[in-house]
C-alpha cells in the first residue's frame, strides 16, 4: 500500500498520493521540454537563417503541446478525487480570468491602449491556474 | 454532508493517513471529508462503507452535527 501513502507536495501545497506526485513531476518535465522547444523555435525564427529548422521546431512544439495536454487529461482522470476537484476549479478560474482579460483588454486596445502580444493572455491564464491551485489546496486543507 | 468519519476512525485508532492509505486517496481528501468541506464521490463513499464495514447511511447523515475542524 506504499503507493497510496499520501505525501505533501511543496509544489502545490497539498497532500498527494505518491502516484499523483510522480505524475505531476512527469507532467512538469514534459511541459519543460515543450517550453524548451518553444524557446528554441523562437530563437531560430528570430534569427531567420534556417526557416526549415524553424518550421520543424514549430511542428515539434505543437506535437509536444498535444502530448502535454493528453498527459494532463489522463492525469486528471486517474487523480485523487479531491485533487481533481482542485485542478478543475483552478482551470475554471484560469479560463474565466483569461476570457475576461482578453475581452476587457480588446476594448482597452480600441480605446488606445498598446496592443498585446498573443502570449500575454496565456501568461495571465497560467498564473491564474497556479494561484487557483494554491487557493484550492488551502480551501480543502 | 455531515458524517461520523472522525468518530469511526478514532474508534479503530486509525490516523487520517492510515485511512487514506486503505482507501487509496490522499490524507487531505480524508481530512476534507471529515470536516465536511468535501463530499466524496459514490465510489469513495462505498469504499468508506467497505473499510468501516457499515452501510453508507451509517457514515453519512445530513441531520448530524458538523464535525469541527
Please name every residue paired with B58 in a beta bridge, in sequence order, or none if there are none: none
Mean pLDDT of chain A: 89
Is the pLDDT assigned to residue A6 strictly greater than 70? no
Sign of CA dihedral A45, A51, A57, A59: positive
Partners of B18 on chain A (C-beta within 8 Å) are none
Q: What is the largest CA-CA distance in chain B?
A: 28
**3-state secondary structure string across A39-65:** HHHHHHHHHCCCHHHHHHHHHHHHHHH
Residue pair A63/A30 in contact (Cβ under 8 Å)? The answer is no
Does the beta carbon of A50 lie under 8 angstroms from any beta carbon of chain B?
A: no
Is the pLDDT assigned to residue A21 strictly greater than 60? yes
CB-nearest to A16 from B17, B26, B32 is B26
pTM over 0.90: no
ipTM computed for the complex: 0.86
3-class secondary structure, B3 = strand
The stretch B2-18 carries a mean pLDDT of 94
> What pLDDT score does B69 carry?
58
Residue pair A17/A5 in contact (Cβ under 8 Å)? The answer is yes
Task: Please report how the helices A18-47 and A51-78 are oriented relative to each other, as an axis angle in degrees rounded to 10.
Answer: 160
Residue (of B44, B1, B7, B11) closest to B26 by Cα position: B44
> What pLDDT score does B68 carry?
59
A13: nearest CA in chain B?
B28
Distances (CA, A) of A130 to A12, A37, A87: 8, 22, 9
| A82-139 confidence digits (pLDDT tens) | 999 999 999 999 999 999 999 999 999 999 999 988 888 999 999 999 999 999 999 9
Higher-pLDDT residue of B16 and A48 is B16
Amino acid at each position: 500500500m506504499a503507493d497510496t501513502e499520501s505525501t505533501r507536495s511543496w509544489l502545490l501545497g497539498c497532500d498527494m498520493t505518491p502516484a499523483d506526485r510522480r505524475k505531476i513531476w512527469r507532467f512538469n518535465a514534459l511541459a519543460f521540454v515543450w517550453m524548451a522547444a518553444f524557446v528554441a523555435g523562437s530563437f531560430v525564427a528570430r534569427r531567420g537563417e534556417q526557416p526549415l529548422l524553424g518550421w520543424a521546431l514549430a511542428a515539434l512544439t505543437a506535437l509536444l503541446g498535444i502530448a502535454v495536454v493528453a498527459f494532463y487529461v489522463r492525469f486528471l482522470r486517474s487523480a485523487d478525487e479531491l485533487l481533481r476537484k482542485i485542478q478543475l476549479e483552478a482551470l475554471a478560474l484560469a479560463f474565466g480570468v483569461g476570457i475576461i482579460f482578453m475581452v476587457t483588454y480588446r476594448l482597452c486596445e480600441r480605446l488606445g491602449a498598446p496592443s498585446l502580444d498573443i502570449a500575454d493572455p496565456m501568461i495571465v491564464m497560467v498564473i491564474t491556474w497556479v494561484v487557483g491551485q494554491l487557493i484550492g489546496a488551502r480551501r480543502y486543507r | 454532508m455531515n458524517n461520523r468519519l472522525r468518530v469511526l476512525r478514532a474508534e479503530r485508532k486509525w490516523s487520517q493517513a492510515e485511512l487514506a492509505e486503505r482507501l487509496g486517496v490522499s490524507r487531505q481528501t480524508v481530512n476534507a471529508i471529515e470536516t465536511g468541506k468535501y463530499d466524496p464521490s459514490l465510489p469513495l463513499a462505498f469504499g468508506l462503507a467497505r473499510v468501516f464495514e457499515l452501510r453508507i447511511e451509517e457514515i453519512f447523515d445530513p441531520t448530524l452535527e458538523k464535525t469541527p475542524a
